[in-house]
Amino acid sequence: MSKRAILLIHCPDQKGLVAKITDFLFKLGGNITYLDQYVDVEGARFFMRVEWELQGFKLYPDAIGPIFGKELGEPLNLTWRLYFSDQRPKVAIFCSKEPHCLDDILARKSSGEWELEIPLILSNHRLLEPTAKRFGIEFAYVPVLPEKKEEAEKAQLALLKKHQIDFIVLARYMQIISETFIEQYPNKIINIHHSFLPAFAGAKPYHAAFERGVKLIGATSHYVTADLDSGPIIEQSTTPVTHHDRIEDLIRKGRDQEKLVLAKAIWLHLNRKILVFQNRTVVFV
Amino acid sequence: MSKRAILLIHCPDQKGLVAKITDFLFKLGGNITYLDQYVDVEGARFFMRVEWELQGFKLYPDAIGPIFGKELGEPLNLTWRLYFSDQRPKVAIFCSKEPHCLDDILARKSSGEWELEIPLILSNHRLLEPTAKRFGIEFAYVPVLPEKKEEAEKAQLALLKKHQIDFIVLARYMQIISETFIEQYPNKIINIHHSFLPAFAGAKPYHAAFERGVKLIGATSHYVTADLDSGPIIEQSTTPVTHHDRIEDLIRKGRDQEKLVLAKAIWLHLNRKILVFQNRTVVFV
Amino acid sequence: MSKRAILLIHCPDQKGLVAKITDFLFKLGGNITYLDQYVDVEGARFFMRVEWELQGFKLYPDAIGPIFGKELGEPLNLTWRLYFSDQRPKVAIFCSKEPHCLDDILARKSSGEWELEIPLILSNHRLLEPTAKRFGIEFAYVPVLPEKKEEAEKAQLALLKKHQIDFIVLARYMQIISETFIEQYPNKIINIHHSFLPAFAGAKPYHAAFERGVKLIGATSHYVTADLDSGPIIEQSTTPVTHHDRIEDLIRKGRDQEKLVLAKAIWLHLNRKILVFQNRTVVFV
Amino acid sequence: MSKRAILLIHCPDQKGLVAKITDFLFKLGGNITYLDQYVDVEGARFFMRVEWELQGFKLYPDAIGPIFGKELGEPLNLTWRLYFSDQRPKVAIFCSKEPHCLDDILARKSSGEWELEIPLILSNHRLLEPTAKRFGIEFAYVPVLPEKKEEAEKAQLALLKKHQIDFIVLARYMQIISETFIEQYPNKIINIHHSFLPAFAGAKPYHAAFERGVKLIGATSHYVTADLDSGPIIEQSTTPVTHHDRIEDLIRKGRDQEKLVLAKAIWLHLNRKILVFQNRTVVFV
């Protein structure tokens, strides 16, 4: 596929938005290959994702942002962000002791399924270091002691800066991240929680699910916010369980949910399919 | 199919239970058409459902219970219940204003999909009376005023006794039932809650789900206990929603979940497929 | 909700289509409440659904079609159709002996879930006449004898004309419809087939599914074309089965699939969400 | 968990089978931890899986088979097989160019999720050799030229014998295997087909699915028989697709189905949960 530009926009709803935006692209020779808009009628908010080919477009890539901002962004009070299809984001994976999400992510990266760079794997345990080595990725062991958490986060942040990380994936990283840390990566930290949130937030959700006797277990991927397990949900799924399933079976069945729901969120984020507004996501198809 | 007997059993786990029970049936000429057992290893509890043909069985139906009780029930400390496949339970439906669950139940009954009697529909509103009439079923309007709840429940209980009701289905009946009432129908009141419990217990779950921005909505059928929305879960399902779905869409999509999840629970109960122990259900296939 | 107009459009893809169409609506004061477009890049075909409020729109409803046609439809070579949200289509239900789809449709209609008229139920058996009567709907018994099929279809068509039927739902109507008949209702006859097509097309799909030992059974709703069970698919679903399920269990489990998948198709058709092109459907959310 | 024995049994149905078999185990001091039986009433066939702890059992593991065979197997005409929970099967993976199933299998093996040995990866292409190396597994490149297929299979069989392979997984191995080969591994070759069989058997199922305009795509794992894509089905799943999904999207979405459905089949096979009879599987929970 040829190189494309992607605009993600949201703003207070107003008449003629789609006409103005598509007209702007049309006049500059843009061949639109994707357009989706959504109006939250109650909230009077407009959301849009538009993608067009750069071949034949009358502006240089670097000029698109400034000109779009001046002609439409400012006058229409748009919140917008511009991406190009050939940008390969740099992603850091945080993990702990559970390998399945990390394994799945590295396999997808390695097979060419995803267009991203993974320069760094960060963990508070050494257990998964061999996995990182297998794929030739730097593994940073940063222990997180309760009394030295601030220090640990400083070390983590330094590593992220060094590697110019664009976004972070918590691949069953079992530590709570501080507000200060999160503020530096707003809507750029994707977590997988092993329950269908808001049920069973917090620790040991499979134990709680077993105790409650549910007939479905789930997984939820979401952006991390200061409020634990309460950030904007990106993707969820559930799978049936029965009385035959003990806690160890819930954990086993849950793994497949977790890795798929996390992978879906990463794919959507990578492909600039997600807009966040008021703690909810608009996810374009 | 010929007439069959069904035994539902649970007890502390011990060696040789299946051998003893199947041996008992075998010696009396019982042709077993269904056998399933489940051992909760951690809880050391044994659960079993066995079904056999009465044709060729050496005991009269009325003698089975007493003899089984004496030979196995008491010595092995079994909690057990005996049913016969030709018993048609009498069911009362409680409803309020939402018709979809009631409509679905009556259609299944009317088409012969289910073997049961529905002598009574009870409601705190008159809105669904025409539905009851359409099917020639007695409709009892029992208003439930906050200050006269006890009185209303007395009237309801009198009607249930009069019709010799075996079990009750709350088909989107939006009232809380008192502990006194529930005690008279232990594990015999089936409710449908319009969320994947334990998420969004209580009132207005679709509004809460919308607010939280979930990507799945669900429905849960459970036996009613004194603890609101916390009884043993029988069946659950979820269905995807997106940012396009407003509260009214969640309600619309949820209806289909609710009616199917409730119908599944009724079918399982009717077919003696459910055992309850410590607020969890064992649901035989 | 206020009255809205809906345009369904498809045409060869070309630059600026969205801009031109939304611009047309914008200049006339149209407040767009729904816009979705889809480009089939390989087929170079453009599809669009747009919905806007008539309040404040500068054209009378009757004028919209002619003016849109002249200004955009002809110059841009659009295939398009205009609807209004307050039109209540007239639907005829064809059924045979299975009641569950008919029951479900009538319950939805009766509860106000759907905006449509059902002036006519047509069947080749008398079995479901009581259901029609229960809802006060005309029931036409038109037997279909193999040697008198043409005659039967003439009688059916006369009834459809008399009632000014807009579209037809085959609610487990087990007869094959002739090409001549179908041509009079192109993409206006919705069928439910009790398998996940293209598997198990033709008669007795549950028997075939059992024979093959599948672990999923399905249902498919589609528009009827001259090619049996091969028309454009609108909606499909599957549900798990196991070795425990005998043919009668597949039939029982399948019923719920069938009624939901058919209901979804009817809802989509009613809400003008479906475009058909080259035997495939574009289904807007 | 302590070491357990597993019996898989099927035979013509007859009275008292469960009693006799559980009685046999009971008298020898066997503590049953799993028991499931299934009677195919129409086919008059009995199926059973029983698992018990070896601790406290009065027979040595080596004696169980001969004594069970003599006392019950022969007199009752049972088809039966005995396994022990600590046997780690040796598995060969056949692959071609698609990495996702192989990656998933190796990750599960490597993380300890599965109890098996993978001494050999066999392929008709060199593409996935680096993956094998990453996990330190022997990679055998056996090109399969149309005119030299027999020769290739001889080489493959020699490698399988050398490594004492117990069963084979075709992880998107795109070659047809000869009847001669299959006969040597009856119900011991697990394949993943990228469609919900029997729809879209044969080559390029995603292309065919796209062409037909289905709204679901699926995956099927099955034992390989001489009849292409027609062996006993072990597990199937489907996932929704829309008109937005082009063939490349079907392929992308399908990958996750394939790897999970194949993994489920391998897990079931490993855990001795599958009985095959008359081209259908009985899959114990």
pLDDT tens digits along D185-225: 999 999 999 999 999 999 999 999 999 999 999 999 999 99
Residues of chain B in contact with residue A238, where contact means CB-CB under 8 angstroms, are 196, 216, 218, 238
Q: What is the pLDDT of residues D245-277, one digit of tens each?
A: 999 999 999 999 999 999 999 999 999 999 999
pLDDT for the residue numbered D2: 83
* C37 to chain D: closest CA residue: D244
Residues of chain A in contact with residue D99, where contact means CB-CB under 8 angstroms, are 107, 110-111
At C148, phi and psi to the nearest 5? -125, 35
A113 touches chain D (CB under 8 A): yes
Between β-strands C167-170 and C90-95, what pairing exists: parallel, antiparallel or unpaired?
parallel
* C26 to chain A: closest CA residue: A16
**pLDDT at residue B1 tops 80:** no
Interface test with D, best of A114, A134, A284 (most D CBs within 10 A): A134
D243 touches chain A (CB under 8 A): no
B285/C244 touch (CB, cutoff 8 Å), yes or no: yes
**Radius of gyration of chain C, Cα coordinates, nearest whole angstrom:** 21
* A33 to chain C: closest CA residue: C39
Q: What subunits touch chain D, counting only 3 or more CB pairs under 8 A? A: A, B, C
Distance in angstroms (rounded) separating the CA atoms of residues D136 and D130: 10
pLDDT for the residue numbered D4: 96
Element spanning A93, H or E:
strand A90-95
Question: Residue D175: what residue type?
Answer: Q
B62: its two tokens: 């009325």
D137 touches chain B (CB under 8 A): no
pLDDT (average), residues D177-185: 97
Residues whose CB is less than 8 angstroms from the CB of residue D38 and which lie 6 or more positions away in sequence, other chains included: C243, C244, D46, D47, D48, D282
For the domain spanning B90-283, the CATH number is 3.40.50.170
Which parts of chain C register pLDDT below 70?
Answer: 1
D15/B33 touch (CB, cutoff 8 Å), yes or no: no
Write out the DSSP string of chain C.
---EEEEEEEEE--TTHHHHHHHHHHHTT-EEEEEEEEEETTTTEEEEEEEEESTT-SS-HHHHHHHHIIIIITTTT-EEEEEETT---EEEEEE-S--HHHHHHHHHHHTTSS--EEEEEEESSSTTHHHHHHTT-EEEE----GGGHHHHHHHHHHHHHHTT--EEEESS--SPPPHHHHHHSTT-EEEEESSSTTTT-SS-HHHHHHHHT-SEEEEEEEE--SSTT-SPEEEEEEEE--TT--HHHHHHHHHHHHHHHHHHHHHHHHTT-EEEETTEEEE--
D232/C213 touch (CB, cutoff 8 Å), yes or no: yes
C249: its two tokens: 């269990």
Residues of chain A in contact with residue C25, where contact means CB-CB under 8 angstroms, are 19
ipTM of the complex: 0.95
Residues of chain B in contact with residue C242, where contact means CB-CB under 8 angstroms, are 285
A233/B212 touch (CB, cutoff 8 Å), yes or no: yes
* B1 to chain D: closest CA residue: D41
Helix (H, G, I), strand (E, B) or coil at A32: strand
Distance in angstroms (rounded) separating the CA atoms of residues C223 and D272: 44
B252: its two tokens: 């619309």
pLDDT for the residue numbered D143: 96
B237/A216 touch (CB, cutoff 8 Å), yes or no: yes
Would you place residue D120 in the very low, low, confident or very high pLDDT band (cuts 50, 70, 90)? very high
Pick the catalytic residue from A229, A245, A249, A256: A229
Residues of chain A in contact with residue B243, where contact means CB-CB under 8 angstroms, are 38, 40, 47, 280-283
Residues of chain A in contact with residue B232, where contact means CB-CB under 8 angstroms, are 213
D213: its two tokens: 């305009």
Strand ranges, E, within chain D: 4-12, 31-40, 45-53, 79-84, 90-95, 117-123, 138-141, 167-170, 189-193, 216-223, 233-240, 274-277, 280-283
D100/A107 touch (CB, cutoff 8 Å), yes or no: yes
pLDDT for the residue numbered B284: 95
The alpha carbon of residue B78 is apart from the nearest alpha carbon of chain D, in Å, by 18
Do B90-283 and B4-84 have the same topology in CATH? no
Nearest to B107 among C107, C260, C263 (CB): C107
D113/A100 touch (CB, cutoff 8 Å), yes or no: yes
Catalytic residues of C: 229
pLDDT for the residue numbered A1: 65
Nearest Cα neighbor of A68 from A45, A89, A48, A85 is: A48
Pick the catalytic residue from D36, D104, D227, D229: D229
A215 touches chain B (CB under 8 A): yes
pLDDT for the residue numbered D90: 98
C242 touches chain D (CB under 8 A): yes
* C21 to chain A: closest CA residue: A19
**pLDDT at residue D42 tops 90:** no
| D window 216-235, beta carbon within 8 A of C | 216, 218, 232-235
Distance in angstroms (rounded) separating the CA atoms of residues D36 and C253: 23
pLDDT (average), residues D149-174: 97
Q: What is the pLDDT of residues A180-229, one digit of tens each?
A: 999 999 999 999 999 999 999 999 999 999 999 999 999 999 999 999 99
Q: What subunits touch chain B, counting only 3 or more CB pairs under 8 A? A: A, C, D
Nearest to D36 among B15, B23, B36 (CB): B36
pLDDT for the residue numbered C41: 80
D76, with CB counted inside 10 A (0-12, 13-18, 19+), is middle
Distance in angstroms (rounded) separating the CA atoms of residues A245 and A248: 8
D39/B33 touch (CB, cutoff 8 Å), yes or no: yes
Q: Give how far Cα D65 sits from Cα of A140, D12, D84, D276, Å.
A: 53, 20, 11, 20
Residues of chain B in contact with residue D23, where contact means CB-CB under 8 angstroms, are 16, 19, 23
A48: its two tokens: 């849009």
* Number of neighbours of residue B248 by Cβ within 10 angstroms: 11
* A25 to chain C: closest CA residue: C16
Catalytic residues of B: 229
C36 touches chain B (CB under 8 A): no
pLDDT for the residue numbered D1: 65
CA angle C175, C176, C182 (to 5 degrees): 125
Domain-wise residue ranges, chain D: 4-84, 90-283
Question: Residue B189: what residue type?
Answer: I
A196/B197 touch (CB, cutoff 8 Å), yes or no: no
Element spanning B73, H or E:
none
* Number of neighbours of residue B90 by Cβ within 10 angstroms: 16
At B211, phi and psi to the nearest 5? -60, -40
Fold adopted by D4-84:
Alpha-Beta Plaits (3.30.70)
Q: What is the pLDDT of residues B94-129, one digit of tens each?
A: 999 999 999 999 999 999 999 999 999 999 999 999
A251: its two tokens: 């954990």
Distance in angstroms (rounded) separating the CA atoms of residues C70 and B174: 54
Q: What is the pLDDT of residues A93-133, one digit of tens each?
A: 999 999 999 999 999 999 999 999 999 999 999 999 999 99
Distance in angstroms (rounded) separating the CA atoms of residues C100 and B214: 32
B15/D33 touch (CB, cutoff 8 Å), yes or no: no
Question: Residue C274: what residue type?
Answer: I
A31 contacts A76 by C-beta, under 8 angstroms:
no
At C279, phi and psi to the nearest 5? 65, 15
Nearest to B213 among A213, A214, A281 (CB): A281
* Number of neighbours of residue A15 by Cβ within 10 angstroms: 15
* A230 to chain B: closest CA residue: B212
A204 touches chain D (CB under 8 A): no
A41/B246 touch (CB, cutoff 8 Å), yes or no: yes
B250 touches chain A (CB under 8 A): no
D107/A113 touch (CB, cutoff 8 Å), yes or no: no
A33: its two tokens: 């290959």
Would you place residue B37 in the very low, low, confident or very high pLDDT band (cuts 50, 70, 90)? confident
A23 touches chain C (CB under 8 A): yes
Give the bridge partners for B6, in sequence order: B51, B83
The alpha carbon of residue C171 is apart from the nearest alpha carbon of chain A, in Å, by 30
What does pTM read for this prediction?
0.97
D111/A100 touch (CB, cutoff 8 Å), yes or no: yes
Residues of chain C in contact with residue A26, where contact means CB-CB under 8 angstroms, are 15-16, 19
Mean residue pLDDT across chain D: 96
Distance in angstroms (rounded) separating the CA atoms of residues D73 and D62: 16
Between β-strands D280-283 and A216-223, what pairing exists: parallel, antiparallel or unpaired?
unpaired
* A244 to chain B: closest CA residue: B38
Distance in angstroms (rounded) separating the CA atoms of residues C246 and D126: 46
Interface test with A, best of C31, C32, C285 (most A CBs within 10 A): C32
Nearest to B285 among C135, C242, C255 (CB): C242
* A231 to chain B: closest CA residue: B212
Q: Which residues of B91-120 are buried (b: 16+ CB within 10 A; e: fewer)?
A: bbbbbbebbbbbbbbbbbbbbeebebbbeb
**pLDDT at residue D34 tops 90:** no
* Number of neighbours of residue B281 by Cβ within 10 angstroms: 24
* Number of neighbours of residue C145 by Cβ within 10 angstroms: 9
